[in-house]
Amino acid sequence: AAVLFSSLLAYWLMPNIQWNLGMLIALFSMLMATDAITVTSVFHQFNLPERLKIYVEGESLLNDITALILFYFVALPLMGEGMAGVNGIDLVILKVLVLSVLVGSGVAGIGFLGLKLIHDPFEQVLIIYLVSILSFVVAEHLHVAGILSILASILTFQYLVDRESRSCNRAGAKQVDALVTDSQSYYSSILEVMRDIPAITGEELWAFKKEAYYIGLFANAVVFISIANLVHVEQILHYSEEVVIVFLITTGTRLLFSQGLLLIRDVPRRWSTVLTFSGMKGGLAIIMAHSIPTDFAYYSLFQGVVVGIVILSTFIYTLILMGYLTWQKRAFDNDRLDKEQLSIDQMTHTIQGAIEKDVLTGAYNPVVFEEILNSEIMRAQRYKLELSLIMVRFDEAKEAQSRPLLKCVSQLIQQQMREIDIFGRLSRNQVAVLVPSTALQGGLIFQERLERSIGKHCTEQGECTSIQIAVVELSEGDTTEMFIEHAETGLRVIKV
C-alpha cells in the first residue's frame, strides 16, 4: 500500500518522466528498504521500551523483505516485460514467500543439529553465521528471496535454541554406552540422546552474544565504507530536484502509515513519531539500484535519486530522531518502567519516573539504576577499572510473600555495602548491588557476608525460604545488556 501510494504521488508530482508501473514499483520498493543497523545504533544510545524497539526493528526487517520481493520478482520483470501483466504478481509473491521460508527453516534445522555436536563457543558462532549465509545462498540459487530465507532461518534457529536452553546442561545427557545393540533400538536411542543434549547453554549463549557484538561492529563499518564508495556527488546534484521531491514523498508516506500503529496498538503518539524517523535507507537500497540494467533509460536518474535519499535520510532522520528521543527522554523512561511498578492512573505513572529511590527497598528504581550502571560501565571500560555486580532474585510466583522478604533482604544488603557501592532494583523481583573498583574475588566475599547475614536473620525469625544470587565481574567489551545477562546465567538458588 505504501509503494502504491508513493507511486501515485510521484506520477502526479513528476509528470516530465515517462513512468510505467514497473518503474514506479522499482523506485519505491528500493526506497522502502530501511537500514536496521543505523536504527539500532541510535537506539543503543537511549533507554527505550523493548516493545518500541521490537516494533521499529520488526518493521525494518519486514520492509526489507517486502522491498526485495517487489523489486526482484515484480518490478524488474514488469520493466523488462517479463511478466504477463499484473495478474501474475500474486502468484509470484506467494511462491517466493513459501519457498523462502521453507529454505530458511530447513537450513536452520540442519544447523541446529550441528550445534548439538560442538562445544566451543567460537565454533558455535561460525555455525550460526553459516546458517544465515547458507540459507541466503540456497535461496538465491533457487531464485527466491535470500533475505526472507535469512529471517526465517534466524527465527527458526532462535525458537529451537530457546526451547533447548530450558533443558538440562550437557552433563545431564545420557551416556552413549547405554545404547542397546539391535538396530531399531540403536537408532531410536541415538535420536533420544540427541534430543537430550542442549544445543547451547546459557554461558555459551552469553559468549556468542559478545562475539556477535564485535562482528556486528565490523560489518557496520564495512557497510558504510561501501556506501561511501558508491556516492557520486555530481550525479546527486544533477537530480537534486527529483531527490527532494522523492524524499518528501517517502517521508510523508511513512508519517501517514506510521499513524496506523496508534489504531491497532494502545501506544503513545510519540511512538509513531519514532517509527516515522526510523526509516533511514541504507546499503540494501543501493544494492538494488545497481541491479537495474545499465541500458535502462532512467538508469542515471534512479542511481542519483536512491543514493541521494540514502544520504538525506541517514543524516536528517538520524538528527531528528536523536533530538526527539533526547527531548522526550523522561516520557520514554516512563514507558519503559514495568507495568507492575506503575499505578493505574497516568499521574502516578509520571511521578514514578521522577522518584529516584524505590519506596519498598530504598534502592534506585530501574530507570535510574540502569543510567548509573551505563555510566559506571563506560568509566570502568575507559580507565580499565574493576567492576562487579551482585544480583539477587526472589520467587516471582509468590509476590505476596516476597514483598516482606524483599524489604528485609534489601535492608541486610545495605548493611553490607560500602559508601561507594550502588544499590538498585532491576525488576519487580530482582535487585542488584554495583560494586566499583572490586574484582570477582571481592564480589564473592560480599556474597558470602550477605548469605551469612540473611541466614542468621532468617534463623532468628524462624523462617526458611530460598532466593537466587549471582556475582559477576565486568569483562572487556561488555555492554550493559551483556553484563546483566551474564549475571542472570550465573544465578544459583540458596536456602536461607
Whether 348 is covered by a domain: the verdict is no
Res. 325: pLDDT tops 50: yes
Residue 164: band (very low, low, confident or very high) from pLDDT cuts 50, 70, 90: low
Average pLDDT value for residue range 129-157: 80
Longest dimension (CA), the chain: 87
Amino acid (one-letter) located at 194: M
Q: Which of 295, 315, 331 is the last residue of a domain?
A: 331
The whole-number pLDDT of residue 320 equals: 92
Whether 341 is covered by a domain: the verdict is no
Which residues in 468-489 are b (16+ Cβ under 10 Å) and which e?
bbbbbbbeeebebebbbbbbbb
The answer to whether residues 31 and 152 belong to one domain is yes
What is the Cα–Cα distance from 290 to 378, expressed in whole angstroms?
41
The answer to whether residues 321 and 373 belong to one domain is no
Whether 232 is covered by a domain: the verdict is yes
Res. 382: pLDDT tops 50: yes
The whole-number pLDDT of residue 370 equals: 86
CA 22 to mean position of chain CA atoms: 34
% of the chain with per-residue pLDDT over 90: 6
Residue-wise pLDDT for 53-100, tens only, equals 888 877 887 787 788 778 877 777 777 654 445 455 556 667 777 888
Residue-wise pLDDT for 219-266, tens only, equals 667 767 766 777 788 888 888 888 899 899 888 888 888 887 777 777
The answer to whether residues 326 and 373 belong to one domain is no
The answer to whether residues 83 and 187 belong to one domain is yes
The whole-number pLDDT of residue 421 equals: 92
Say which CATH number the domain at 432 has.
3.30.70.270
The answer to whether residues 273 and 365 belong to one domain is no
The answer to whether residues 251 and 383 belong to one domain is no
CB atoms closer than 10 angstroms to residue 222 = 11
Average pLDDT value for residue range 136-148: 78
CA-based end-to-end distance of the chain: 60
Do the Cβ atoms of 19 and 11 come closer than 8 Å? yes
Average pLDDT, the chain: 75
Q: Please enumerate in sequence order all residues whose Cβ is within 8 A of that of 477, keeping only pairs 6 or more positions apart, or say none.
A: 210, 213, 214, 381
Whether 101 is covered by a domain: the verdict is yes
482, β-bridge pairs: none
Residue-wise pLDDT for 181-193, tens only, equals 444 454 444 445 4
Say which CATH number the domain at 75 has.
1.20.1530
Residue-wise pLDDT for 28-56, tens only, equals 888 887 877 777 777 877 778 878 888 88
Res. 327: pLDDT tops 50: yes
The answer to whether residues 65 and 168 belong to one domain is yes
What is the Cα–Cα distance from 160 to 114, expressed in whole angstroms?
13
Q: Is the pTM of this model over 0.75?
A: no
Nearest-5° Cα angle at 350, 347 to 353 = 150
Whether 109 is covered by a domain: the verdict is yes
Whether 339 is covered by a domain: the verdict is no
Whether 289 is covered by a domain: the verdict is yes
What is the Cα–Cα distance from 196 to 179, expressed in whole angstroms?
14
Residue-wise pLDDT for 259-303, tens only, equals 877 777 777 888 888 888 888 887 778 778 877 877 888 888 888
The answer to whether residues 38 and 113 belong to one domain is yes
Residue 23: band (very low, low, confident or very high) from pLDDT cuts 50, 70, 90: confident
The answer to whether residues 28 and 155 belong to one domain is yes
Res. 214: pLDDT tops 60: yes
Residue-wise pLDDT for 442-483, tens only, equals 888 988 888 888 778 776 666 656 788 889 999 887 888 888
CA nearest to 64, candidates 91, 31, 40: 31
Whether 346 is covered by a domain: the verdict is no
Question: Residue 25 half-sphere exposure, CB side, CA atoms within 13 Å?
Answer: 21
Res. 389: pLDDT tops 90: yes
Do the Cβ atoms of 146 and 139 come closer than 8 Å? yes
The answer to whether residues 396 and 477 belong to one domain is yes
The answer to whether residues 194 and 252 belong to one domain is yes
Residue-wise pLDDT for 329-362, tens only, equals 888 877 766 444 444 444 444 444 456 777 777 8
The answer to whether residues 7 and 125 belong to one domain is yes
Average pLDDT value for residue range 4-18: 78
Highest-confidence range of 7-11, 232-236, 397-401, by mean pLDDT? 232-236
Do the Cβ atoms of 492 and 202 come closer than 8 Å? no
Residue 400: band (very low, low, confident or very high) from pLDDT cuts 50, 70, 90: very low
Domains: count for the chain: 2
> For residue 466, what are the domain limits?
357-495
Res. 412: pLDDT tops 60: yes
Residue 19: band (very low, low, confident or very high) from pLDDT cuts 50, 70, 90: confident
The whole-number pLDDT of residue 433 equals: 92
% of the chain with per-residue pLDDT over 70: 75
